[in-house]
Amino acid sequence: MPAAAAFEVTVPATSANLGAGYDSFGLALDLRDEVTASLCVEPVDPVRCVEVEGEGEGSLPGDRSHLVHRIASTVLAERGLADLADRLLLHCLNRIPQSRGMGSSASAVVAGISIADALSAGAGLPEPPAAEKLAWATRFEGHPDNAAPALYGGVSVSYADAQGRPQSASIPVDPRVSAALVIPSARLDTAVARSLIPATVPHAQAAANSAVAGLFVHAISSAPELLFDATADRLHQEFRRPAMPEALARVDALRAAGLAAVVSGAGPTVLVLGTGGDLAERTAAALPGDDARVRGAQISEAGATTTALSPAPGAV
């Protein structure tokens, strides 16, 4: 079908919480989903407007209910550009494992917002400020810990300001720090994992967690030798053990080996932070006989990117 414009959006995988930073800390990883968006000249078939390749192929919807298309359509409609969504055709190349705690839904949400932003720019609307993009992403995701690094890259701490608006601040990353991921075949629904966390915890427990969260900022930015102590969580991981006993057993084994291991997001993937080019090898060695996939990773300084494939100024 003829296209008036086309562009590619890439969004990184993310890992949230990072131990003590529940619903606040997050980082971007060098594993990216890609979405090719084409704005067709005529409306497209609404039940065949999304093609999925890779993760989720054969199970994710190919109609306008697909998360990326749905987010783009919602944003466009609120900007008075609903007609553009009728002409939107997507090809999604998914590399981020889904329902594993690696931010696949945040990636899809940010991709949808980025597509809407590109189409809005083609229609002559100004580029929205970063805070507006984070507000959109938080609205759809529910909290900003994955959304912020998906948008901006790097390591971030997200919070609500005095007016309750989501905000995010970037944390510098010591160049020696890298990561390893222990990715199981099992999946876990985020809602299930969150449902196990109690509404309140003892004051002493919260105070101890606050101290570790503060230490993490120092460790990730300039003292990676402290990452083991800086990733000890007291707010959420242990409560989730019934839903992911294998993931927490991996965390236990890795920490017993001296590695700074945490549950990645809602799990069941495990994230290890550390230094040295052999971090993935040391991670695998601490889990003998485990059938989960161990993958080395780098923290990605780049967040979501948008690249024009067929510039067509004024075509929209």
- Are 88 and 135 contacting, i.e. CB atoms less than 8 angstroms apart? no
Token digits of residue 311: 């510039």
Point out the least confidently predicted range of 60-74, 97-111, 120-134, 184-198: 184-198
Residue 197 confidence (pLDDT) above 80: yes
Q: Which CATH number fits domain 177-297: 1.10.1660.10, 3.30.70.890, 2.60.40.10, 3.40.50.1220?
A: 3.30.70.890
Task: Give the relative orientation of helices 104-122 and 130-141 as an angle to the nearest 10 degrees.
Answer: 140
State the DSSP string of 182-240.
Answer: EE-S----HHHHHHTS-S---HHHHHHHHHHHHHHHHHHHH-GGGTTGGG--SSSTGGG
Rounded mean pLDDT of 24-32?
97
DSSP classification of residue 25: E
Q: What is the pLDDT of residue 313?
A: 37
Q: How would you classify the pairing of strands 166-171 and 270-275?
A: unpaired
Q: Per mean pLDDT, which range of 73-87, 201-215, 300-314 is the poorest?
A: 300-314
Residue type, 186: A
How crowded is residue 63: how many other Cβ atoms within 10 Å of its Cβ? 13
At 229, the amino acid letter reads D
Q: Determine phi and psi for 206, rounding to 5 degrees.
A: -65, -40
Q: Is 106 annotated as a binding residue?
A: yes
Instruction: Kindly tell me if the per-residue pLDDT of 314 is higher than 50.
Output: no
Q: Is 59 annotated among the ligand-binding residues?
A: no
Is 185 annotated for ligand binding?
no
Domain-wise residue ranges, the chain: 3-170+301-310, 177-297
**Predicted pLDDT at 189:** 83
CA 281, 284, 286, 292: dihedral to nearest 10 degrees? 170
pLDDT at 98: 93
The yes-or-no verdict on residue 315 having pLDDT over 50 is no
Looking at the structure, give the CATH architecture of the domain made up of residues 3-170+301-310: 2-Layer Sandwich (3.30)
Which of 40, 41, 36 lies closest to 90 in space, CA to CA?
Answer: 36
Average pLDDT of the segment spanning 124-140: 94
Q: Provide the β-strand partners of residue 178.
A: 274
* Average pLDDT over every residue of 187-214: 89
| 103 assigned to a ligand binding site | yes
What is the per-residue pLDDT for 312? Answer: 44
Tens-place pLDDT, residues 152-177: 999 999 999 999 999 999 999 999 99
Residue 1 is predicted with a pLDDT of 54
User: 298 labelled as ligand-binding?
Assistant: no
Asked whether residue 100 is marked as a ligand-binding residue, the answer is yes
Per residue in 237-283, pLDDT (tens digit) is 999 999 999 999 999 999 999 999 999 998 999 999 999 999 999 99
Nearest to 177 by CA among 99, 237, 113, 230: 230
Three-state secondary-structure class, residue 150: helix
Using the predicted structure, report yes or no on whether residue 2 has a pLDDT greater than 70: no
pLDDT digits (tens, 9 = 90+) for 44-102: 999 999 999 999 999 999 999 999 999 999 999 999 999 999 999 999 999 999 999 99
pLDDT band with cut points at 50, 70 and 90 for residue 143: confident
pLDDT-based confidence at 188, cuts 50/70/90? confident
Distance of CA 17 to the CA centre of its chain: 11
Confidence at residue 316, expressed as pLDDT on a 0 to 100 scale? 38
Cβ(28)–Cβ(149) below 8 Å: yes
Q: What is the predicted pLDDT for the residue at 117?
A: 97
Please state, rounded to an integer, the average pLDDT across all residues of the chain: 94
Question: CB-side exposure of 130: number of CA atoms within 13 Å?
Answer: 14
Helix (H, G, I), strand (E, B) or coil at 52: strand
CA distances from 245 to 13, 81, 186, 213 (A): 24, 47, 12, 24
CB 69 within 8 A of CB 88: yes
Q: Tell me the C-alpha distance between 262 and 216, whole Å.
A: 13
Mark residue 308 as left, alpha or beta (left: phi above 0; alpha: psi -120 to 50; beta: remaining).
Answer: beta
142 a known binding residue? no
Q: Please tell me which residue, 313 or 93, carries the higher pLDDT value.
A: 93
Q: Annotation-wise, does 99 bind a ligand?
A: yes
Cα–Cα distance measured from residue 44 to residue 49, given in angstroms and rounded to the nearest whole number: 6
Q: Where are the beta strands (DSSP E) in the chain?
A: 3-16, 25-40, 50-54, 88-94, 155-160, 166-171, 177-183, 260-263, 270-275, 293-297, 305-310
